[in-house]
A and B are shown apart, each in its own frame.
Chain A
Amino acid sequence: MARTTDASSANASPEGALPAILRDAALYALVAFGLCVPIVSYRTESGPGSDLVLVPRWGLVAALCAAIFVARLLQRLVLLRRDARRALTPAPDQATEAVHGEPDAGQRVSKVGLWAFLGIALTLPLVATAATGGLSSARYWIDLGILILTYVMLGWGLNIVVGLAGLLDLGYVAFYAVGAYSYALLSTTFGLSFWVCLPLAGLFAGLWGMILGFPVLRLRGDYLAIVTLAFGEIIRLVLINWGDVTGGAAGISSIPRATFFGIPFTAGEDGFAARLGIPFDSMHRVVFLYYLILVLALVTNGVTMRLRRLPIGRAWEALREDEIACRSLGIDTTATKLTAFALGAAFGGFAGSFFAVRQGFISPESFNFLESAIILAIVVLGGMGSQLGVAIAAVAMVGGPELLRNLGFLKAVFGEGFDPSEYRLLLFGLAMVTMMVWRPRGLISVRVPSVALGRRRAISGAHVSEGHG
């Protein structure tokens, strides 16, 4: 309906279209009001004694409706201009344009963006220190960087399974958990160091990937998604209930900290700072962890990019395209699927053991379904198969909620009880809806052929329907 009014207003003069636009915006506000009445207008609070009292929030309802009215009005006014409309609506010829059609702006970003992104990632601790005036005060930013990079790595790991092999995995967090518990248990029980446990954690997670892979080999699409979802929950429930080994819901604490290849980050004689002859600072460990996860993430990326050029990577892509054709070309689809599962899981395991060494404490709480959903959202939002897109999406999905913390001033609008960081899921929804409208194939949906005789030419995302890098 909105589409037709757009088309008719294109011919009319802007002045003539104004009443229609106002009516349209009012209609939107009315719908918002209808939604707000049952959801927002009253809130139950515990009053004096044990009874609940209803607190009316009509001011908030009015504010929301007004916001929606203004937003719709602005949207329509912007869309009145022909060039703006063209820039903002996806071109209908996307599906039919020539193959070597010019990549659009979002795709061109990926060229410059790659180096910019890497540069920022490499220099973040230095920049943060310089900007905040000290290593300790930069801790917040470096910690945030570590968090984002962990999700970047998880996204890249899941990308192998979902983006390349086209196997929808909703329980990826299970492998993250396997990696984390592998390190936690091996180090607390046998005293193994992080550097021994890291490969072991990846190995265990990869093994679990294959264990999951076997029963689901025959499944695809929705059915596969449900089984993997169940697998994620099973792992979490086992972790909670197998108290003797995993510590149950209480988790495992006092996990040994990471060392600089055997040199601990302590203030003592043989500590990292003393050996280097610099004054001790607890931030050394944090900066080290930052670069550790950066290296791990880059290794994940490097391996994925390399594999894409190898027969196995090509087989993954072909498998996603057409399983029957694959088999008739002599590709062992069983082995191909299992390697995708195992490799994706192994990277999840590496990330998990990093998570454990960084936190020093893990519990099943950290590995719930929401984590899987976030990681999958990062992959989908980034444009399945696109490495840079996943990184950008990780920044948006993990860094975005952090921004919400700084929106305390909104309390003035929505009242004292308003906590912006509770609106994390709203950000999710908003990002997803925005993406579906403007970039249905993900932020960066270019596919550069992995092998080309002449010039490598990127192709428009319109040809990259699901999962392509």
Chain B
Amino acid sequence: MSVAGINVLVEETRALQAGEKPPQAGTKAPLLAVRGVSTYYGSVAALKGVDLDVAEGEIVTLIGANGAGKSTLMMTIFGAPQARSGSITYDGADITRRPTHEIARLGLAQSPEGRRVFPRMTVHENLQMGASLHGGRHFAEDLDKVCVLFPRVKERLHQRAGTMSGGEQQMLAIARALMSRPRLLLLDEPSLGLAPLVVKGIFDAIRRLNREDGMTIFLVEQNAYHALKLAHRGYVLVNGRVTMSGSGRQLLDDPAVKAAYLEGGHAAPAGA
């Protein structure tokens, strides 16, 4: 591993150690509860009875291989496609059969897979779209906030979103989601197709969001090592079923997880 790579690792470990203890899940009703959710594409089952909890103030990650159903779960929470069976509750309310835009109005926001910024609108306009739920009432205040979190977004405020780099677009997608002042932020593969250094920047921002603003975050990731280091708790999705769950640390150390998701590209040194 290169020197820069090791530095990144060291820094992340330090950041994790400096962090406060993860909030204890299970003491009160979770903010988001997924119970026995099955989702089908036609006759093909993409999710086969998934159970999952996200408590207020947590970072929860869902890892899994390509095609495991990670993004499907994310989209199912958002109501497109809707779950065929099972239930999804957010803040005590059943949202399983609600249309997407109503779910968004309840205080969930997502940065969808592949970022999906509005390419021909400026960064500023993209952020306005994110704030449209509140009719732009605290737009200026929130704009300052995301600009502090992502200085790059501030630099590019009047550029068209489609002309930015992938990392900048990802930052914009997260910033846009934050503009609606969500209680729960869903992030679908924020590291997709980005350079390691950029990924680190984005994961740092996610960590700060959680630490400083107490934002609850549900993170779907293929980049298992980074995601598990960052998250308080994690779930492993295999072929539409949750096969394992536990704290981020536990999963990182689990030999099965190590073998399936961590060997190779991001193999953590045994003693680190």
Contacts and interface: CB of A to CB of B under 8 A. Distances in A.
A and B are partners in one complex rather than unrelated chains = yes
B78 interface: yes
A459 B121 CA distance: 11
B160 A459 contact: yes
Contact of A327 (B104, B124, B157, B180): B104
Contacts of B136: 311
Interface residues of A, number: 32
Nearest to B113: A324
Interface string A454-465: 100101000111
A330 B104 contact: yes
Interface string A305-338: 0000001001101100110111111111100000
Contacts of B104: 327-330
Contacts of B135: 311
B128 interface: yes
B120 A464 contact: yes
Interface stretch (A183-191, A396-404, A445-453): A445-453
Contact of A315 (B80, B109, B132): B132
Contacts of A236: none
B119 interface: yes
A12 interface: no
Given A452-B158, A453-B158, A457-B158, A314 B128 contact: yes
B82 to A, nearest CB: 13
B132 A331 contact: yes
Interface residues of B, number: 36
A465 B162 CA distance: 11
B233 interface: no
B159 interface: yes
Interface in B159-214: 159-160, 162-163, 176-177, 180
Contacts of A465: 120
B119 to A, nearest CB: 6
Contact of A463 (B80, B124, B163, B177): B163
A451 B135 CA distance: 15
Interface string B106-129: 000110100011111110110011
B117 A329 contact: no
B100 interface: yes
A52 interface: no
A317 B132 CA distance: 13
A331 B99 CA distance: 11
Nearest to A454: B158
A450 B125 contact: yes
A468 interface: yes
A91 interface: no
A331 B158 contact: no
B105 interface: yes
B25 interface: no
B130 interface: yes
Contacts of B28: none
Contact of B129 (A318, A447, A468): A318
A324 B116 contact: yes
Contacts of B110: 328
A370 interface: no
A465 B160 CA distance: 13
A239 to B, nearest CB: 37
Nearest to A98: B163
Contacts of A321: 118-121
B133 interface: yes
B158 A468 contact: no
Given A99-B163, A329-B180, A331-B101, A311 B121 contact: no
B162 A463 contact: yes
B28 to A, nearest CB: 27
A330 B125 contact: no
A317 B160 CA distance: 14
B118 to A, nearest CB: 4
Interface in A402-453: 447, 449-453
28 contacts: A99-B159, A99-B163, A311-B135, A311-B136, A314-B129, A314-B132, A315-B129, A315-B132, A318-B118, A318-B121, A322-B116, A324-B80, A325-B117, A327-B78, A327-B99, A327-B100, A328-B78, A328-B104, A329-B104, A329-B129, A330-B102, A330-B104, A330-B133, A449-B158, A452-B124, A454-B158, A463-B120, A464-B120
Interchain residue pairs A-B with the least CB separation, the first 5: A330-B104, A321-B118, A325-B116, A327-B100, A330-B133
